[in-house]
Structure 1
Amino acid sequence: MSNLTFRAATPADIPALVQLVTSAYRGEASRAGWTTEADILDGQRVDAEAINADLARERSTILVAEDAQGRLLACCHVADEDGHGYFGMFAVAPGLQGGGIGKQLMQAAETHVVREWGLATMQMTVIDCREELMAFYERRGYARTGIKKPFPYGDERFGIPRRDDLRFEVMEKPLGAGA
């Protein structure tokens, strides 16, 4: 999709961000897209408090993609974490997934991390049973590192697990001058 604009989110965007991220990952509405986590997690994906904390953090930006009418179509969170770019909270409106918006937003995020913070790599954590999602990121230059992190069972801020084998894997991409 062309005619997208990218900008840093503000506190005024928080309600729309909560709605967008929730619709992309949780509940029946998320099944319209391919990024749904409805079969592995219930509960919330993000809340206003967490988004506000990301907005207030140093070297942290929530990027949003909007159409020509100013409608929020996608978002992601990028930050400087331990000298690497961190990419998370990536969401595209379910009915628009697969149309290229996410790819454009990922490129904008990578460019932001290089331009604003001079970082040479981007990392993310992905639930390792989400093979189709990991394959999507691999097609975009991210590699599985083999580094596993535990899922925060018992912390409902991250959702309510529907299975007991969830864990994260760190994926990483080198960011060249073209990012």
Structure 2
Amino acid sequence: MGMSVTISAATEQDAEQILKLQYLSFQSEAALYGNYRIDPLVQSLDSVREEVARDCVVVARLGEEVVGSVRGRLGEDGTAFIGKLCVHPRLQGHGIGARLLRAVEAALTEQHGATRFRLHTGHRSEGNLRLYRRVGYETVGTDQGSDGVPMIVLEKPAGTYAQTA
């Protein structure tokens, strides 16, 4: 009998699993851009620990295993910045990413008063763009990541939560 994936706030003990999952999950993005120095692949464990302690970090678990993760933090103008959404490659395409987005958006709104959400993804990341657009994000501009990857910036107002199906 299979287990259900549960969504919850990350704990300090999750930091190492989050980092390992992030490293595994972002390999396909690195290959897409021919750049294995993208931010999620060079982040340190101490930096992940700091994010878990400071920011709104949500994980998806299958039993004890962290199989998905996303981070959010509130900016000064009520805009919440969402990043490093990742789902284990073997579980992608089953709605876990949308569930994680819904959970982090709800937490950022309810606990921190977010009025808008902003995120970014690489310009060639069609799967990511499809997910973000499906859950209500719209392109508002472009940027360049610190790793040199051209990025598409997307936003949506708070209250228009991701569908979980």
TM-score using structure 1 length? 0.77
Verify: 1:174 aligned to 2:157, yes or no. Answer: yes
Task: Letter of the 1:16 partner, please give it.
Answer: Q
**What does 1:141-156 correspond to in 2, within 5 Å?**
141-146=136-141, 148-153=142-147
What residue is the counterpart of 1:16 in the other structure? 17
Task: Letter of the 1:56 partner, please give it.
Answer: A
C-alpha RMSD of the superposition: 2.2
What residue is the counterpart of 1:46 in the other structure? 43
Report the 3-state secondary structure (helix = DSSP H, G, I; strand = E; otherwise coil) of the residue aligned with 1:91: strand
Task: Letter of the 1:10 partner, please give it.
Answer: T
Aligned counterpart in structure 2 of residue 105 of structure 1, from 100, 103, 108: 100
What residue is the counterpart of 1:122 in the other structure? 117
Residues paired across the two proteins, number: 156
Task: Letter of the 1:5 partner, please give it.
Answer: T
Task: Letter of the 1:168 partner, please give it.
Answer: M
Distance 1:64 1:39, change over 3 A: same
CA deviation digits over 1:33-54, x for unaligned, max 9? xxx3323121425321221221
Task: Letter of the 1:142 partner, please give it.
Answer: Y
Distance 1:149 1:175, change over 3 A: same
Deviates more, 1:78-87 or 1:94-103: 78-87
- Native 8 Å contact 1:25 1:45 kept in 2: no
Deviation at 1:15, TM superposition (A): 1.3
- Native 8 Å contact 1:21 1:46 kept in 2: no
- Native 8 Å contact 1:21 1:45 kept in 2: no
Q: Provide the C-alpha distance between the structure 1 equivalents of 2:19 and 2:101, rounded to a whole number of angstroms.
A: 19
- Native 8 Å contact 2:140 2:153 kept in 1: yes
Q: Provide the C-alpha distance between the structure 2 equivalents of 1:131 and 1:100, rounded to a whole number of angstroms.
A: 16
Distance 1:2 1:120, change over 3 A: farther
Task: Letter of the 2:24 partner, please give it.
Answer: S
Q: Provide the C-alpha distance between the structure 1 equivalents of 2:160 and 2:139, rounded to a whole number of angstroms.
A: 22
Task: Letter of the 1:173 partner, please give it.
Answer: K
Verify: 1:7 aligned to 2:2, yes or no. Answer: no
CA deviation digits over 1:21-75, x for unaligned, max 9? 111112xxx4xxxxx3323121425321221221233xx12111112x2221100
Higher helix share: 2
What residue is the counterpart of 1:55 in the other structure? 52
What residue is the counterpart of 2:91 in the other structure? 96
Distance 1:56 1:121, change over 3 A: same
- Native 8 Å contact 2:15 2:52 kept in 1: no
Gaps of 5+ in 1: 31-35, 154-160
